[in-house]
Chain A
Amino acid sequence: MSDKKWKPQIVGFACNWCTYAGADLAGTSRLKYPANLSLVRVMCTGRIDVSHILAAFARGADGVFVGGCHPGDCHYLSGNFKAQARVALAKRLLAQFGIEPERLYLEWISAGEGTKFADVIVQFTERVRELGPNPTHLELG
């Protein structure tokens, strides 16, 4: 169903303290990963609302990635756990909308884990590629 030229679009949310810095480290280390991901920087993954995730899918994103601090490392103590809960909720909603929950992916990546960031993005992009294009356009009010 997907032609060879199809380029999945992935929106990423990354917290300022851990994952965004980890992505920077991947860059400084010149690690390579597919160019399908664009990051939106937030201070904390706890800022990410289910509506942000749904909006991304509604506007055609093929995958959404959320990257936060490891448990215990959150700059704001527990924002990462809030994100974890909201991602779980969003996954259930996605399934009801006919979108595979696997298109939404949460991972803990610290500021020192440049390699992990690159690896995670390589794997997630591949998974989204296998899933094919976002099957639906949600009409959110």
Chain B
Amino acid sequence: MKKKEKGAGGDRKIGVYVCHCGVNIAATVDVSKVVKFAASLPEVVIARDYSYVCSDPGQRLIVEDIEKLGVNRVVTAICSPRLHEPTFRKTLEEAGLNPYCLEIANIREQCSWVHDDETEATEKAKRLVASAVARSALLEPMDVREVPVVPEALVIGAGISGIQTALDIADAGFKVHLVEKDPSIGGHMAQLDKTFPTLDCSACILTPKMVEVERHPNIQLYAYSEVEEIDGYVGNFTVKIRRKAPYVDWVKCNACDECTSVCPVNVSNQFDMGLSSRKAIYRAFPQAVPNKFVIQKTGVPPCRATCPAGVNVQGYIALITCGKYQEALALEREANPFASVCGRVCSHPCENECKRGELDQPIAIRHLKRFIAQEGRGSQKQTSPPKKRGTGNSRKKGKVAVVGAGPAGLTAARDLASWGYSVSVFEAEKMVGGMLALGIPAFRLPREALQEDIDYITEFGVELVTDSALGREFTVPELFEQGHRAIFLATGAYGERKLGVPGEKAKGVFYALDLLKKLNTGRSIKIKGRMVVIGGGNAAVDAARSLVRLGAQEVTILYRRSREEMPAYSEEVKEAEAEGVRIHFLGIPVRILTKDGQVVGLKCQKMKLGAPDESGRRRPIPLEGSHFQLDADAVVVAIGEYPDLSFVTKKASLDVTSWGTLVADPVTLETNMPGVFAGGDVVSGPATVIEAIAAGRRVAISIDRFVKGVDLREGREVNLQVVTEVPGLAHRPKRDRIAESRLPVKKRIPGFAEVTLGYSEKEAVEEAGRCLNCGICCECRECERVCEPQAIDHALRDEIVSTQVGTIVVATGFDQFDAQVKPELGYSQYENVITGLEFERLSSPSGPTAGKILVAGREPKDVAFILCVGSRDETVGNEYCSRVCCMATTKQAHLIKEKNPEANVTVFYTDVRAFGKGFEEFYVRVKEEGVVYRRGNPSEIYKKGERLVVRAEDTLLGQTVELEVDLVVLAAGMTPNANTEGVANLLRLGCSADGFLMEAHPKLRPVETAIDGIYLAGCCQGPKDIPDAVAQAKGAAASAIAPMARGRVRIEPITAVIDEDLCSGCRLCEAVCEYGALSFDEDKGIMTVNEVLCKGCGACGATCPSGCIFMRHYSDEQILAQIGAILSHVR
């Protein structure tokens, strides 16, 4: 197939130039044979060899042949095209030939350097030359594409390298976008105390540069931001930057630091390498640039995410740790007005999800809630929301009716009342509280405890109308007629299931709820003899324990499954057994035995457990012929409740499910009647208190929206970003939860005194201190109260900023080697084994010890330094030298001697590398100060009393030495930044074998990358000290400035071309193009290429079934010609 773009001048005249490269090629490849071979190839008019083709005379040979012999295609058999392709393209251009008429045979990197056998290497060189000649014959001239360069640069990372790069580019007059992932710029250099070998203070030389960055008119600083996406090519990159939400308005924040004093959350301070703690709201260090605070959030803690009502558990627990009980209670009550109740009877799903449970035991959240319910009441003024309360007509938002004064109804009533609604709660019974008041016995929930919560709710001006039942005293339409704008049906589940066995009508058969109701409403119950309670839920256990208290001789629970399947709370089951209740598992009643209409016993059948049913519990199956008998004077049936829906009539025709519950939308809880909402047990069937509270909250929001005429659903189904992992959890010290004290069994019976006794203040604070603060910030909002400029904004969200730049400099730095990888050195095991960076923080006047070298409160007298920790160590995969540790350690040894001249300092080394300016002199000076250098790598560090013993082999003496010291400092080396892979993927950069980002050439192009327009600065490319990092930064800046200063850059013209005659418009290519460069022309019915978008990868060319996509410079013919040439002398 002939292409339209025919090369200039028809006939091919190919010149081949084989390089000796001194002996680099010539030592293994017989160059003269290759030249002779080349000369024999078709269309080759001249083949020459030269010692260095890349040299000026070498290039002149080519120019002359082009001019004199009319050579119009050039093949150089030299080193890799990745090195000299640009050089020879220029040569061709100078001779007036199109630069793309060049092909390179890589006979050095891919031939002479990798093969030993001269014959084989020469044969291969011939094949490579044949391949290049075949391709060159098919090369077409291409127009050089030039594009304008956006005169702005992106610098990623603002350590000393990034800072220097940004300053240099900005000083040259170009705008710089400087992106730093941390809240402050400065990087590792900001952590250092002194710098070697001059001993100037690191902060003193760095901070002026940091300030300069902030003030520079050409620098746009994006602190606490990350580059999210990069697209485009040299001169025209599109960059998306994520500005992470600091939850503090940086415009308003005046860095007064008031917030940190009230923040209850302490976390490890990474700037101090974990040697101190900081608050969840923090600034990295006092000289931070920008000098602004951020709040660290890692997500919603699992406790809060699991709580059906979304109670801010971490928040109130954090407040307990600093004695702010009233604030804790107020925070708890924002989501759940039943603190006192839930502190006693909540099913606490939060505790099941508590991350601490993965370490030892979950936090005793319920006990802590009870503690604040009691201790936080102190002054009602503070615990009640600040809203001014009123009743009845003073409310502006209108009337709302709540039917049922259980936890669901009262929660909604509280919420709505606090928002300004006039709320009336109608209760069928004489007392309020619903199942809390009627169904739970006082020994679990004392009446006063319930009353506290109800009193709190009524304080909001909620009107309670008792003895007023739906369907008896009023109907739903009547409530609307009375002017209620919305109605919440929270009538609960009070119907009791019957056993359905013969004898159930006999005297002596009771129902649990009825029994508990009587008990709780103070009616007398006469009990004697042996009792059997049937069922395994909380009602059954409550009934059984009540019977014990009422004086029953013997109480037995009969349950059809085993202990594991019991729905009752396991702690309550345990208490029941302690109180003397017997539990008979795996049995069902088949008949109630009577005598003269009075219960005398139960005929039962044994069960076995089968496969799990829908509830996940194993299904009980009756065992044939396994009948047995239980004697009983009374039987209490406790096999479940269901909603009583007798109020559903024609006028109030609410939809009902097949389970006999009301139908309500799962998100909004609206029923089929507009303005009528339903929630709690009447919708869910019998469920927990906290689920009812959650339903109440949900309905309150729905009603508020309904009244306001706002969409009920919008934005309510949010996906919470839940914390799934707590970093370093396994390494935390274990500490069991504190048990709540209980009333001794003897003192419980008879009577209904509360069994659990609650925490003392000391216990509560200690237990709260176990909280891991999974979400870091607990959102207690204490900082909001003290922030004078009102800068705190928890509603802030990450922001994406998009910008165009011409060039990019990567300066993402390094991480310190994790010394835990070498357990024999005892790091993280012994507190007096520290790393070099930790030493810097100890030694720094701004560090946790204000510059005193203190370990466990004492100044060490004998100190050992160990070099090459994680460097030059194949066992940890790091073969490279970290280059700074020798001198950094020498400096640190000097600092110890300076602070304590009496100290004995020993440095264990492999080799001392003092290669920089002034390094050797400094090393000699420190040795003269009395620091001992011993050659040898310590094999073990172990504890001896308070001190440590370093065991090493002194390789000069050939002896094992054991040195007793107070402190060991590990010169942990530099490793690639943990996110290097992410950066490499983002920018499509390569990494070298050591894991650092790879430069274009290790010697000649140390700041460039394989990608035009992207440069490297500092330790992201490999370990460096500060002067080297700064020097490379300046180099990167200069390289990045060059294309911007020129204003235009050349880009490869390699693009796809569509043969319009052949294209059938099948559009297969459209789907494979990642860049949207191919589009379908509806008029012509064929594909078209957008050359600006096309990046020349060739994927479309390989996809086109009709071969109508021509890839410039990598055409099918060219590739096939190369294959053919390589294989031309097979067989």
Residue numbers of A with Cβ under 8 A of B are: 7, 9, 11, 16-18, 20-21, 23-24, 26-28, 30-35, 38-44, 46-52, 55-56, 59-61, 72-79, 82, 86, 110-115, 118
In the complex, which residues of chain B have a beta carbon less than 8 angstroms from the beta carbon of A17? 988, 990, 1010
Q: When chains A and B are docked, how far (Å) is the Cα of A126 from the Cα of B899? A: 64
Kindly list chain B residues whose C-beta atoms are within 8 Å of the C-beta of A23.
109-110
Q: Which residue of A lies closest to B997 (CB)?
A: A112
- Residues in B with CB closer than 8 Å to A9 are 1126-1127, 1130
B993 touching A43, Cβ below 8 Å: no
Nearest Cβ in chain A — how far from B133, in angstroms? 13
- Cβ-defined contact, A82 with B1072, below 8 A: yes
Interface string of B76-100 (1 = CB under 8 A from A): 0000111000000000000000000
11 residue pairs bridging A and B, Cβ less than 8 Å apart: A24-B109, A32-B115, A34-B120, A35-B124, A43-B1114, A47-B1119, A52-B1116, A52-B1123, A86-B1102, A110-B990, A115-B993
The distance from the CB of A68 to the nearest CB of chain B, in whole angstroms, is 11
CB-CB < 8 A to A110: which residues of B? 990-991
- Rounded to whole angstroms, the CA-CA distance of A59 and B1121 in the bound complex is 11
Per CB-CB distance, the 5 closest pairs between chain A and chain B, nearest first, are: A47-B1098, A27-B109, A111-B990, A46-B1099, A76-B1097
**Is B985 an interface residue, CB under 8 A from the partner?**
yes
> Which B residues touch A76, using CB under 8 A?
1074, 1095, 1097, 1099
B117 touches A35 (CB 8 A): yes
Question: Does A43 contact B1120, Cβ atoms closer than 8 Å?
Answer: no
Interface size on B, residues (CB 8 A): 54
Q: Of the candidates B1002, B1097, B1116, which one forms a contact with A44 in the assembled complex, judged by CB atoms under 8 Å apart?
A: B1097
A46 with B110: CB separation less than 8 A = no
What's the least CB distance linking B988 to chain A, in Å?
Answer: 5
**B115, A35: Cβ atoms closer than 8 Å:** yes
Q: Is the CB of B1123 within 8 A of A11?
A: yes
Do residues B1127 and A56 form an inter-chain contact, with CB atoms below 8 A? yes
Query: Which A residues lie within 8 Å of B127 (CB)?
Result: 38
Q: Which of A43, A56, A74 contacts B1054 (CB 8 A)?
A: A43
Contact of A20 among B82, B111, B1011, B1101 (CB under 8 A): B82
Report B1089-1131 CB contacts with A as 1/0, cut-off 8 Å: 0000001111101110000000100101001101110110011
Whole-angstrom CA separation of A77 from B271 in the bound complex: 36
Min distance, Cβ B1013 to any Cβ of chain A, angstroms:
14
Residue B419, interface by CB 8 Å = no
**Given the known A-B contacts A18-B990, A73-B988, A110-B990, are A27 and B1120 also in contact in the complex, defined by CB atoms under 8 Å?**
no
Q: B383 at interface (Cβ–Cβ under 8 A)?
A: no
* Chain B, Cβ-Cβ closest to A82: B1099
Q: What is the CB-to-nearest-CB distance from A13 to chain B, in angstroms, rounded to a whole number?
A: 8
Contacts of A48 in B (CB 8 A): 1102
- B residues within 8 A CB of A46? 1072, 1097-1099, 1102
- Tell me, rounded to whole Å, the shortest Cβ–Cβ distance linking B808 to chain A: 15
The residue from A7, A86, A111 contacting B1010, defined by CB atoms under 8 A apart = A111
User: Complex: how many Å from CA A11 to CA B1010?
Assistant: 25
Which residue of chain B has its CB nearest to the CB of A118? B114
CB distance from A87 to the nearest CB of B (A): 12
Contact partner, B985, options A7, A28, A73, Cβ 8 Å: A73
Given A46-B1098, A50-B1102, A60-B1131, 10 additional A-B pairs, CB 8 A: A9-B1127, A17-B988, A38-B131, A47-B1099, A56-B1123, A60-B1130, A73-B990, A75-B1097, A76-B1095, A111-B1010
CB pair A24 B106 closer than 8 Å: yes
Q: How far is the CB of B317 from chain A (nearest CB, A)?
A: 41
| Contact of A27 with B113 in the complex, beta carbons under 8 Å | yes
Please measure, in the bound complex, the distance between the C-alpha atom of A46 and the C-alpha atom of B1124, giving whole angstroms: 21
Q: At the interface, yes or no: B464 with Cβ under 8 Å from chain A?
A: no
Shortest CB-to-CB span from A67 to chain B, Å, is: 12
CB < 8 Å: which of B80, B1098, B1103, B1123 contacts A59?
B1123
CB neighbours (8 Å) of B998 from chain A are: 111-112
Given contacts A77-B1074, A112-B990, contact A39 B110 (CB under 8 A): yes
Of chain A, the residue at the smallest CB distance from B1104 is: A49
User: Is B992 a contact of A112 with CB atoms below 8 Å?
Assistant: yes
Residues of B with C-beta under 8 A to A35: 111, 114-115, 117, 120-121, 123-124
CA distance A56 to B1123 in the complex (A): 6
Q: Which residues of B contact A82 (CB under 8 A)?
A: 1072, 1099, 1102-1103
**Chain B: minimal CB distance from A135 (Å):** 13
Residues of B within 8 A of A114 (CB): 993
Nearest residue, chain B, Cβ from A50: B1102
Question: Is B799 engaged at the interface, CB distance under 8 Å to the other chain?
Answer: no
Q: How far is the CA of A30 from the CA of B27 in the complex (A)?
A: 13
Query: Cβ of B283 < 8 Å from any Cβ of A?
Result: no
CB neighbours (8 Å) of A86 from chain B are 1102
Complex Cα distance, B985 from A42, in Å, reads 20
Contacts of A52 in B (CB 8 A): 1102, 1116, 1119-1120, 1123
Residue ID in chain A nearest B1128 by CB atoms: A59
Nearest Cβ distance between residue B117 and chain A, in whole angstroms? 7
- Cβ-defined contact, B114 with A31, below 8 A: yes
Which residues from 668 to 699 on chain B have a C-beta closer than 8 Å to any C-beta of chain A? Answer: none
**Are B1116 and A49 neighbours in the complex by a CB distance under 8 Å?**
yes
Asked whether any CB of chain A lies closer than 8 Å to the CB of B399, the reply is: no
Q: Once the chains bind, are A27 and B988 in contact (CB under 8 Å)?
A: no
Is A26 in contact with B1099, judged by CB distance below 8 angstroms? no
B984, B1002, B1122: which contacts A40 (Cβ < 8 A)?
A: B1122
Contact of A27 among B81, B108, B992, B1122 (CB under 8 A): B108
Residue of A nearest to B1001 (CB): A28
